[in-house]
Every structure is written in C-alpha cells, then in structure tokens.
Structure 1
Amino acid sequence: MSQKRWDEDECWQIVNHQVKATGRVCDFIDDVVVTPAGERINRQYTSHPGAVGIIALDDQDRIAVVRQYRHPVRMALVEPPAGLLDIDGEDFLEAAQRELAEEVMLSADDWRVLVDVVTTPGGCQESLRIYLARGLHEVPRPDGFVLEGEEVSMKAGWEPLDDLVEAIYAGQCQSPTLVAGVMALELARRTDRMNQLRSAHSPWPIRERLGGINGVTAQ
C-alpha cells in the first residue's frame, strides 16, 4: 500500500483540553494528547485566527512593503501588507484586499494564490495565505479605518524584487510572510509558472475542513 506523500488531516485523541490564558487575539492552550503508541503527552500552543499576506508586484518589478515594529523579537521588520482573519465570515480574498488598501493604499486588478503556509506548526495554529497582487492602483484608505498601535509608526515603500531576494539570502529580511511570499514569487517567475498560479478563490483545506483549524476537540 502506497503511503500518502503530502500533508493530510490527522488528529490524535485529546483527553484534556485547557485554556491556560486568554489574550486579545490568541489563547494559550494545554492539551493532553494520546499518541498512536498509547503514550500521553502534554502539548502547549497558542490559538490563532489565521492571516493573509499580499505580495504586491508593480510593473517595475518592485514589491510594496511596510516596516513594522514587532515587539516579541524587538525588531522593525520589512514585511508585505498582511493582517488577521479576525472578522467573522469575511472572505479570505476580501480580507487581503482590505489589508492592501489599509496598509499601503493600493488596490489590484489581478489576484492569485501564491502560497499557503502554517507559520509555526510546532507551537501556534496560525495558517497564512499569501496572495500575489498585480495591476496595482493607488486608493484611499477604507472609510472608518484608523491607524493604531504599531501601525501609527509603520512606514510603507517599495523595494525591488531582486534586492529582496538578495536580502533574504543574506539573512537581512526575516519576516516569514515576506520570505515565503518573495521566494515563491521568484521561483514562479524562474520556472514560468506565473500564469499557472491558483485562482484567488481556490480552496484553503486547512481552514475549510470539518472542525476548522482546531480539528477534533477533547474526547
């Protein structure tokens, strides 16, 4: 019997599920899990609503980026526009379009799925969809949107794609959204896959499966 080659749904039995702390966006969770061998193990992780990121590519092969302070790592990171999926029922693509307008005041005519990732699967539930946006136009920020927190000090600009690739290889850009998105775009360009990228409305299996990102709850 051939084994599965790609990621697939699997949920080991959870015999105890405790929310140890509740935050503004995420919770800290402690699960007691039974392995297939019968061993009971404790696994701690943070919940997460998920996120979208946007690699916005203009006609001069530049990428729209922001420089945003990230307190846990005490750094201002170069990142693409991105944001949480924290509005109930909001379509993934609509969330990306909203974030692009909010953070860098752009809209796009052409949207594709560039890559889907789980950012820290050993300790966090965050699932991230990164879109490629082309055919860019300047737009005002959405009505009612107000910059707050780190966003007030955030600076937006453009960086050549080639320079970002070199900076990533040099260890000078470390945002997982930027690294995954830029390198996926660079590979798509080099392998002539740009027109084969998935539709912007393609399924996102980890978020659409029964039970959602959490899978099966405690037994």
Structure 2
Amino acid sequence: MAGIHDVAEEWDVRDGRTPFRGKVTGVRSEQVRMPDGVWAQRDYQLHPGSVAVLALDEQGRVLTLRQYRHPVRHRLWELPAGLLDVPGENPLHAAQRELFEEAHCKAGQWRVLVDFFTSPGGSDEAVRIFLATDLSEADGERYAAHGEELEIETARVPREDLVRLVLAGELHNPTLVTGVLALTATGGDLDALRPADAEWPARPY
C-alpha cells in the first residue's frame, strides 16, 4: 500500500518559547494554528533522540538489562540504549558505544530494526533500534559504571519468552516491547531489514 506512510509536515507556529531546559531535555511551548484558524497551545518535551540495540546471540536469545527508572518508580527490563547527546554523532556509532558500555559486548553484524517516536503527542523524541548479531565479548577493560548504572543486571532471554511476557503485561519498556515484536514480525528474514547506515530523517546527523 504505497500511500500508507508518515509524511513530514509543519503547521504555522507563533510565540515559541522554552520555559525550562534541563541537563538533557527541555520543555517547549508554542501556539499552533489549527485547521479552523484557531491558535492552540502545545507544550512538549524537547529531546535529543535515542538509540537502542536488540542484541541477538547465536542461540536466539536477546541481551536484556534491568535498570531502575525513577519517573515510573520501576526496575524495568530493557535493551541497551542511550541518548544521542553528542552533536553530530553517527547513530550507529552511538549504538555500538552503548552496547560496549552497558554490556561489554560487540557485534559483527548491524542492521536497522525499527524507528519510532516514543510519544509524538508530547515529545519530539525519536528512537532507532538496531539489530546486532554475531555477538562477542568486547576488548579491553569494562566501562566504569556510575549512578543508576551501578545496579544494572543482565540476562539473555529467548525471544519467544520475551514475546510471551510482553503480551502478558509483565514487560513495559517501549524499546524492548517494540524491538522484540518487530524482530518477531520479520519471520526470521533478517536480510530484509535496512542497512545500519539507512537514512533517518527524524535525526539526520
């Protein structure tokens, strides 16, 4: 269905301001003109974007991490992931860095699994999930963790088990949910996925 695809578009905006800017994210407030001509206020989170890695080993297990997430007061099972907070950084390089830092792993093969907006009604965050295969332990010393990363747990879980847990409402992290279900949707045809350097209009670098 060639006509079913998202299209970039921007409506008229006035009175744009950023009343709050934190260390990583901020809040943007804008007046946006609706189709009926009325101006409506829209407040949303400014976000640099993120990458995540679905690392799949030779036994069909997915590398997962459990980490405390303060806003939701949960320890969540997740995929290795991180912010695109280095200006101009290649998203693939950022994903490779996160796989090393969070799991001390490297991968011989990389593909784009899926791209998505986390919450397009309230944030401009865009996420790219890479599929990493041909896994091995990284060279050199382990990354020195700090803060909440000090208590990261790791586990390699069969993809089928993760799907069952997602559908049972036991797993909630959006990158893990999206990545595992997207991988399942490939039916094992990984060669049909986009190359690791595929264009990403939401976060050009």
Query: How far does residue 141 in structure 1 lie from its aligned partner after superposition?
Result: 6.5
User: CA–CA distance in 2 between the matches of 1:5 and 1:187?
Assistant: 18
The amino acid of 1:205's aligned partner reads P
CA distance in 2 between counterparts of 1:57 and 1:141 reads 22
DSSP 3-state at the match of 1:164:
helix
1:195 aligns with 2:191: yes
Instruction: Show the counterpart of 2:121.
Output: 122
User: Quick one: structure 1 residues 92 and 128, their matched pair in 2 at CA, closer, same or farther if it must change by over 3 Å?
Assistant: same
**In the TM superposition, what is the alpha-carbon distance from 1:146 to its structure 2 partner?**
3.0
Letter of the aligned partner of 1:30 in structure 2? S
Distance in 1 separating the partners of 2:120 and 2:140? 33
SS of corresponding position for 2:107: strand
Cα-Cα RMSD: 1.6
Amino acid at match of 2:191: N
- Equivalenced residue count is 204
Counterpart for residue 215 of structure 1: none
- Give a deviation string over 1:121-172, Cα, whole Å, max 9, x none: 01011100000000001015778x4312211111122111111010000000
For 1:92 and 1:198, the matched residues in 2 are separated by: 14
Q: Where does 1:29-68 land on structure 2 (aligned, <5 Å)?
A: 29-68=28-67
Confirm or deny that 1:88 pairs with 2:87.
yes
The normalised TM-score by structure 2 is 0.95
CA deviation map 1:100-141 (0-9, x unaligned): 000011000000000000000010111000000000010157
Return the offset for 1:30: 0.9
Q: Tell me how far apart the structure 2 counterparts of residues 156 and 102 of structure 1 sit (CA, whole Å).
A: 13
CA–CA separation in structure 1 for the residues paired with 2:168 and 2:6: 30
In structure 2, list runs of 5 or more residues that go unmatched.
Answer: none
Deviation, 1:6, is 1.2
For 1:125-140, list aligned pairs within 5 A.
Answer: 125-140=124-139
SS at match of 1:158: strand
Structure-1 separation of matches of 2:13 and 2:196: 35
Report the CA distance shift for 1:142/1:183 in structure 2 as closer, same or farther (over 3 A).
Answer: farther
Identical amino acids, percent of aligned pairs: 43
For 2:193 and 2:146, how far apart are their aligned partners in 1?
34
Whole-angstrom distance in 2 between the partners of 1:134 and 1:39: 50
Residue 17 to residue 63, structure 1, CA distance change in 2 (3 Å): same
Mapped to 2, the partners of 1:130 and 1:53 lie a distance apart of 5
The whole-number CA distance in structure 1 between the counterparts of 2:25 and 2:33 is 24
Distance 1:163 1:130 in 2: 20
Determine the C-alpha separation between the residues in 2 that align with 1:141 and 1:130: 25
Deviations 1:57-78 (A, max 9, x none): 0011111110010111100000
Q: Distance in 2 between matches of 1:18 and 1:10?
A: 20
Counterpart contact for 1:101–1:140, Cα < 8 Å = no
Q: Give the ranges of 4+ consecutive aligned residues of structure 1 lying more than 6 Å apart after TM superposition.
A: none
**TM-score when normalising by structure 1:** 0.89
Check conservation: 1:105, 1:138, Cα contact below 8 A. Answer: yes
